Structure 1
Amino acid sequence: MKAINPNALPEWLELSADGAVVTLKYPIEVDGVKRDKIPMRAPCLRDIRAATASASGNQEQYEVNLFCSLTQIGEKDLGAIKTVDYKRMQEGYFRLDNEVEV
């Protein structure tokens, strides 16, 4: 039986020094264009501060604000994403925001 590396990237996630690309299971429409891949840039302190300021203490809104900023997708379009793909985005963000070696 082959050992599973918990740090191995899933096939739907690509990482680089600049960010991540998440391949969606269910494409979404962004500004009228169907997309099956969502690029997400690596966060900086300015992103965190802006998302915090605009969320008024609501953790869910904080994360949505942050993801909108990092992906350049509006909240309305991002709101149409299926939960399985949102979880993929969360995993992509987690990998960008931590120093886990692949």
Structure 2
Amino acid sequence: MSDRTIVELKYPVEIDGAQVSVLKLRRPKVRDNLAAEKMGATNADREIALIALLADVAPSALHELDMGDYAALQKAVAGFF
């Protein structure tokens, strides 16, 4: 079993000046969930914070994702549980 899940983006985004077409999510730990809870006022904010932590990107980078790509990330995170 891999400790990372790779999500290929159908619509690449620019993150830190580079075109990104793949995000690698590491398996979440309890501390990630606790940190995400502290970072977001709404469920959506907390979900974005958790995905950003797992992908090692800023939450604002996820705001630019296509909704289909975001749905793929949501599915990948759900697969960890």
TM-score band, normalised by shorter chain: over 0.9
Alignment TM-score, normalising by the size of structure 2: 0.92
Q: CA deviation at 1:60?
A: 0.6
Matched AA of 2:9 = L
The percentage of aligned residue pairs carrying the same residue is 27
Give the structure with the higher percent helix: 2
What is the root-mean-square deviation of aligned Cα atoms in Å? 1.1
Residue 13 of structure 1 aligns with which residue?
A: none
Q: For the Cα contact (< 8 Å) 1:19–1:96, is it kept in 2? A: no
Counterparts of residues 11-26 of structure 1 (less than 5 Å): 16-26=1-11
Structure 1 gap ranges (5+): 1-15, 98-102
Q: For the Cα contact (< 8 Å) 1:20–1:96, is it kept in 2? A: no
1:38 aligns with 2:61: no
Alignment TM-score, normalising by the size of structure 1: 0.74
CA distance, structure 2, for counterparts of residue 41 and residue 72 of structure 1: 9
Moved over 6 A (4+): none
Matched AA of 1:64 = I
Structure 2 gap ranges (5+): none
Q: CA deviation at 1:24?
A: 0.7
Matched AA of 2:71 = K
Residue 54 of structure 1 aligns with which residue?
A: 39
